[in-house]
Amino acid sequence: MMTHATRDIAFMKMHGLGNDFVVLDSRAHRIDMTAALARAIGDRHRGVGFDQLALIQNGADGSDAQLVFYNSDGSTAGACGNATRCIARFLMDESGRSDVVLKTERGYLAARDAGDGLTSVNMGQPQLDWQDVPLAREVDTLELPIDGAPTATGMGNPHCTFFVGDAESVDLEIRGAEIEHHPLYPRRTNVQFASVIGKNHLRMRVWERGVGVTLASGSSSCATAVAAARRGLTDRTVAIDLDGGRIEIDWREDGVWMTGPTAHVFSGMFTRDWLEQVR
């Protein structure tokens, strides 16, 4: 079976609201992804660049495909909502279907065509217990003992959401980096700063663990919507304005549904020579 050292590898560049991804289709030919290769592909000067890399694998146990995610620092991510939406759109276009089921570390995620070029995915129920986020010790996840009293939420990956008067005024580069490595989060955390615009409207900016500042984040949007609803700041259906655009979140009985646009920007090929250098 051929691996990345013995053949060229095709890839797709996609994004959801500027949250950008390199997607590798490993269904026909196995791709041996490593942390070093993910970092090399994620280099925006010497590789392609991405917020997350997604590997599509053959489906199992009733799923249409399995997804594995990597951050740009080479670490793995348990969930990536916008990449899941992008790949769901690709698979629906490929099959001519209007719905798919994708298996991730988060579980089985249902996705569907929402019309008008939009794609929805059910990211599952949020994890609200401190052990499930996970946190380092037992605390109230609604208001953490951190300056600013943020809310902790698990969406297959950990989140820390601050509600502030003006999300635009936060120094995200500094605050995000500080909170990502807070000792209360043993696996590091994604960090969000959100302002309430109305009962169905939030403005949010995000720092992703293992990546940094990103224009959007699907799982962060879900976590922020859940945190706002739990604190009584918004209803359970909200529009969130991110740096890259608007996404719709609906926390329902069957899970947190996320709806927004996707884009398949271009397809390309990693050459054997380059792969040999970075493997």
Give the whole-angstrom CA distance, residue 37 versus residue 68: 14
Work out the mean pLDDT of the chain and round it to a whole number. 95
Is the pLDDT at 4 greater than 60? The verdict is: no
CATH number for the domain running over 9-123+262-278: 3.10.310.10
143: pLDDT strictly greater than 90: yes
Q: How confident is the model at residue 167 (pLDDT cuts 50, 70, 90)?
A: very high
Report domain extents, the chain: 9-123+262-278, 151-253
CATH, range 151-253: 3.10.310.10
pLDDT at res. 70: 96
**Is the distance from CB of 99 to CB of 109 less than 8 angstroms?**
no
Percentage of the chain modeled with pLDDT above 70:
98
Mean pLDDT, residues 229-250 taken together: 98
171-198: average pLDDT: 97
Query: pLDDT band at 1, cuts 50/70/90?
Result: very low
pLDDT digits (tens, 9 = 90+) for 86-129: 999 999 999 999 999 999 998 999 999 999 999 999 999 999 99
Q: Do domains 9-123+262-278 and 151-253 have the same CATH topology?
A: yes
Confidence band of 60 (pLDDT split at 50, 70, 90)? confident
Q: What is the pLDDT of residue 2?
A: 40
User: How large is the average pLDDT for residues 72-92?
Assistant: 95
Query: Could you tell me if 30 and 7 are in contact, meaning their C-beta atoms sit under 8 angstroms apart?
Result: no
Task: Decide if pLDDT at 202 tops 70.
Answer: yes
Helix axes 218-230, 81-95, angle to 10 degrees: 120
pTM: 0.93
